[in-house]
Amino acid sequence: MKKQDMNRDWIATARTLSEALPYLQRYTEAIVVIKLGGHAMTSDQGMETFARDVALMRQVGINPIIVHGGGPMINAMLEKLNIESKFINGKRVTDQATMEVVEMVLSGSVNKKIVQAINDQGGRAVGLSGKDAKLIECEQADKDLGMVGSPSKINPSVINTLTENDTIPVIAPLGSGPNGETFNINADTAAGAIAAALKADRLLLLTDVSGVKNSDGEVITELSAQKIKDMIKEGIISDGMIPKTETALYALDGGVRAVVILDGRVQNACLLELFTEHGAGSLIRN
């Protein structure tokens, strides 16, 4: 690389840092809940980039809290163990045998992989599940679906203890039932419930789409809660985007300042959303 080109790159880097300053100041001590799923979980490079972003967020004074999914890893393990899955209207029935695999994968290999990735980037992460310290108490969501839970109470004291000690919580979406049962929780739902309980400044839902799209297929960069409701009613928001936007509405009702649905396949997506003027997805707020 020529010296002139190197100087140009350094100047661009310095300008980027300078332009980010107001946003760095804006988010000092802010709580940002991030639901990690999709490409960022299944790609080694995506995981490394995500982990670096999270470590940087903590370094500049943000309190990131990670809630992760793990559907593809669960499917792979069930297949490996020859456990056949039953589905009702596209939703997996979680029987006792399936639940044991779900807990093993989510609390075990998936959770620890994320923790290790963040620690490798200089962060200090600790893995836990919603069962720890009764973080997430659940009710059964649907008897036909088995051990699938709906959060009824969030006890965030363990999260507060970790963040007060400069530690990044990485949470597997499992919860405890009233009789000590273990429930599997949709990761978006768990992230929304935790964000609401913490009155988070931001809830970032990382997914494999670029955001909420209008009827012409164009990403809408900013929406109101009412606009989301109208688009669901009109059928513009459909399929897998419905539970994500419903999670956003729940979180906003619970006191979260704003929710962003963004593409986790984009490099440095979280940093682009928080520290640049144009953001990186669809911002939803009241």
* Structure confidence by residue, pLDDT tens digits, 106-164: 999 999 999 999 999 999 999 999 999 999 999 999 888 999 999 999 999 999 999 99
The residue from 35, 37, 46, 264 that is catalytic is 35
239 is catalytic: no
The pLDDT value given to residue 17: 67
The 3-state DSSP class for residue 258 equals strand
State the chain's mean pLDDT as an integer. Answer: 90
Domains of the chain, residue spans = 28-285
DSSP alpha helix (H) spans, 27-66: 39-42, 44-59
The residue from 37, 38, 254, 264 that is catalytic is 38
The pLDDT value given to residue 240: 81
Fold of 28-285: Carbamate kinase (3.40.1160)
* Structure confidence by residue, pLDDT tens digits, 45-72: 889 999 999 999 999 999 999 999 998 8
188 is catalytic: yes
The pLDDT value given to residue 119: 97
208 is catalytic: no
Query: Using CA atoms, how far apart are residues 175 and 162, in angstroms rounded to an integer?
Result: 19
Q: What backbone torsions phi and psi does residue 136 show, to the nearest 5 degrees?
A: -125, 115
The residue from 69, 70, 71, 123 that is catalytic is 71
In contact, 147 and 184? CB cutoff 8 Å: yes
Please choose, from the candidates 107, 131, 125, 121, the residue with its C-alpha nearest in 3D space to the C-alpha of residue 165: 125
The pLDDT value given to residue 41: 82
Residue 105: DSSP 8-state: I
38 is catalytic: yes
* Structure confidence by residue, pLDDT tens digits, 220-269: 999 999 999 999 999 999 888 888 999 999 999 999 999 999 988 888 88
| Residues above pLDDT 90, as percent of the chain | 66
pLDDT at 26 over 90: no
User: Maximum CA pair distance of the chain?
Assistant: 68
The residue from 123, 130, 244, 254 that is catalytic is 244
pLDDT at 5 over 70: no
Q: What pLDDT band is residue 39 in, cutting at 50, 70 and 90?
A: confident
pLDDT at 176 over 90: yes
Query: Using CA atoms, how far apart are residues 78 and 207, in angstroms rounded to an integer?
Result: 23
Beta-carbon contacts of 244 under 8 Å, excluding residues fewer than 6 positions away, are 188, 205, 207, 261
The pLDDT value given to residue 280: 80
pLDDT at 40 over 90: no
The pTM of the full predicted model, rounded to 2 decimals, is 0.91
The 3-state DSSP class for residue 13 equals helix
Query: Using CA atoms, how far apart are residues 236 and 217, in angstroms rounded to an integer?
Result: 9
131 is catalytic: no
The residue from 70, 146, 149, 188 that is catalytic is 188
Q: Per the structure block, which two tokens stand in for 112?
A: 């620890």
Angle, helices 225-233/241-253, rounded to nearest 10 degrees: 150
